[in-house]
Amino acid sequence: MQTTEVKEYAVSSAVAGSIVAPRKYSPRITLASFSAGGFQFLFAPIMWFLFRIFTRIEVRGIENLATPNGVILAVNHTSELDGPLVCATLFHARKYLPLFFVAKGKSFYRNSGWRNFFYGGLLFKLIGAMPVRSGHHDYEASLAFFIAALQRNKNVLIFPEGERTKDGKIGEVHGGVAFLSEKTGKSVIPVAVNGLLQMSFLDFILRRRVIGISFGKPLRSGSLISGHHLGDAEKYKSAATVVMEQSGRMLAS
């Protein structure tokens, strides 16, 4: 197994969680769901209202969100508003909330100014952004919280690129999204967000932007990954690339 790419993903995607083996009841997942659910049910309609007032927003493929029994939303990453936008869009499909976000740990923001006080901390976790466990050499340890959440039919949002794009193009992807799908048997829904790149506050309040968000057809775990042994990092990266190619096609359409 090639551990370099796995380690790189664990650091760049980064989440707290100590559950590896599934259990019928998990106080950690239950508490996180209650907290994130409360914040998101309040937060989503407010964000939707603001996006509708200050941008021209277009939503496509919402019909692909048919079965919310634990799905993985794979989103291209252009802005800090990508996650809030997806959450706001799901205001009309509330059965998808709460949504857990795969986020970087607090140490990543140590030299990031004001972000250090918010990102990766308690409030970040309260709204559903859970930091991956860094310092491990395998996906199962790094993504343990999300494995447990998906096994309990919760929904997860992940940015397979691991960082924001600087030019709007989809960058190199990491294999965590494919590992989560294979490990839990859950489908992946490619999501394409367009129009948020380098959007300023002035762009927002002057309604200069057209924001697009497209949901692709679900990619079943069995069809996304087949014929490989569990633990093959290159297999996961290849499958994740297939997912994001679909997001790329939606961006171009």
DSSP for 126-193?
Answer: HTTEEEP--S-SSHHHHTHHHHHHHHTT-EEEE-TTSS--SSSS-----THHHHHHHHH---EEEEEE
Between residues 198 and 107, the one the model is more confident about: 198
CATH number of 3-252: 3.40.1130
Express each pLDDT in 7-64 by its tens digit. Answer: 333 333 333 333 334 444 466 677 766 677 778 888 888 999 999 999 999 999 988 9
Express each pLDDT in 111-136 by its tens digit. Answer: 565 566 566 567 777 778 888 876 55
For residue 139, name the pLDDT band (cuts at 50, 70, 90): confident
Could you give phi then psi for residue 192, rounded to 5 degrees? Answer: -120, 125
Cα separation values, 201 from 55, 66, 99, 172, Å: 11, 34, 26, 28
Q: How many CA atoms lie within 13 A of 204 on its CB side?
A: 11
CB count within 10 Å of CB 94 equals: 14
d(CA 163, CA 48): 24
The DSSP symbol for 195 reads S
The DSSP symbol for 111 reads T
